[in-house]
Amino acid sequence: MRLLIANANTTQAITAMCAEAARAAASPGTEIIAATPRFGPEVISSRAENIIAGHALLALLAEHAGQVDGVVLAVSHDTALEAARQLMPCPVVGMTEAACFTACLVGGRFGLVTFGGVDTYRERIAQHGLAGRLASLVGVDATPQESVRDPEGVQRKVASGIARAVSEGAESVILGGAALAGYAARMQAEAAVPLLDGMACGVKLAEMLVTLKLPKPSAGSFAAPRGRNSIGLSPELAAMLKG
């Protein structure tokens, strides 16, 4: 099967890093292709950027509709996830969504450790209906830049964030955000509970949904758009709204 790893920001290096993580997680028969939006924010770190990136992501997906069997959104805020799911004829999974649901299958309540602010993660997890299974949200006081400059120092901060999540009742811990890619594998040995990586979980859940071959709904809010007019959109996106 072909899975599209769709970044929602315009930084190709992040796309490449996520594609690599996806290939490491993919099953033998899975081909990973990756794509970066043509417009939008370089990095998504605020509410406004997230909305803009949502449009950019849908435009990107429209270019691949019909050519891939499934999509993993390589963006930690699950940007435009529900809209992408409605638009595309194939399964779409968000990387943080995937990590959260995998954490549920591991058991009990989970924690999420990330760089910086956690408010929008709290909202997103609540929108997934999982507020009751969230034990702890930890914002590590570090930046992606710092993690390049002082990897060991940052890793110590992340380890302390994981320990705090466990002490607050987390039975597994998600490491959220592209900046923490690769940390789960590196830090698992010393952690008391499973560490979850969004790209790995996303690829496995997308593969699983593709093989289930569930049909697209013909009713409800996830039925494909049909007969919708628009102005100034990319031809591919406009065509998909038109149905």
Torsion of CA 4, 70, 181, 179, to 10 degrees: 70
**Which residue's CB is nearer to its own copies, number 19 or number 199?**
199
Query: Assign residue 225 a region: left if phi > 0, alpha if psi is -120 to 50, beta otherwise?
Result: beta
- The least distance separating its own copies from the CB of residue 74, rounded to whole angstroms, comes to 17
- The least distance separating its own copies from the CB of residue 149, rounded to whole angstroms, comes to 18
**What are the C-alpha distances in Å from 36 to residues 5, 63, 233?**
9, 11, 17
Touching its own copies, residues 130-149 (CB under 8 A): 130-133
Question: CA-to-CA distance for 134 and 99, rounded, in angstroms?
Answer: 12
Which pairing describes strands 92-94 and 134-140: parallel, antiparallel, or unpaired?
unpaired
Touching its own copies, residues 48-77 (CB under 8 A): 48-52, 54-56, 58
Q: Is 226 exposed, middle or buried (0-12, 13-18, 19+ CB in 10 A)?
A: exposed
Touching its own copies, residues 2-31 (CB under 8 A): 10, 25, 27
**Binding-site member from 17, 19, 85, 138 for its own copies (CB under 8 A):** 85
Region binding its own copies by CB under 8 A among candidate stretches 14-22, 99-107, 149-157, 174-182: 99-107
Question: CA-to-CA distance for 126 and 218, rounded, in angstroms?
Answer: 27
- 78 lies in the binding site for its own copies (CB under 8 A): no
- 113 lies in the binding site for its own copies (CB under 8 A): no
- 204 lies in the binding site for its own copies (CB under 8 A): yes
- The least distance separating its own copies from the CB of residue 79, rounded to whole angstroms, comes to 9
Touching its own copies, residues 161-200 (CB under 8 A): 166, 169-172, 188, 192-194, 196, 200
- 159 lies in the binding site for its own copies (CB under 8 A): no
Is 10:79 a contact under the CB 8 Å cutoff? no
